[in-house]
Amino acid sequence: MSPETDHIAAPTNGKHRVPRPETRTAPPAGPPPQPATAPFTPTQLAVGFGILAAVIALVVGSLRRRARSGRRGQYGRR
C-alpha cells in the first residue's frame, strides 16, 4: 500500500478529535523490562495464610475426633 492510502480521514462534524496519522517507531532492541511489582500484596498473603491455617486446623480437629471415637465403646463411653 502506498503512504497516501494507509490512513483515511473520516469526517468528525466537530464532535470528536481529529484522527492523527500514526507515527511508527522502531521496536525496542531486546526483551521488555520486567515490572518491579510483587506478585502478591501483603494483604493477599495474610488472607492466604489465614485460609491455610483454618484448613489445617479443621483437618487436625477431624483426625483427633476420629481417633478419639475409635477408643470409645459401643455407646460412646466406657
Give CA–CA dist 53/59, Å, rounded: 10
Instruction: State the distance between the two ends of the chain, measured CA to CA, in whole angstroms.
Output: 93
pLDDT tens digits for range 2-16: 555 566 666 666 666
pLDDT tens digits for range 41-75: 999 999 999 999 999 999 999 988 877 666 555 66
The cell for 43 is: 494483604
H/E element holding 61? Answer: helix 42-71
Q: Residue 10's pLDDT is what?
A: 66
Mean pLDDT on 33-45? 84
Please state the pTM of the whole predicted model.
0.42
Do residues 41 and 49 make contact, with C-beta atoms less than 8 angstroms apart?
no
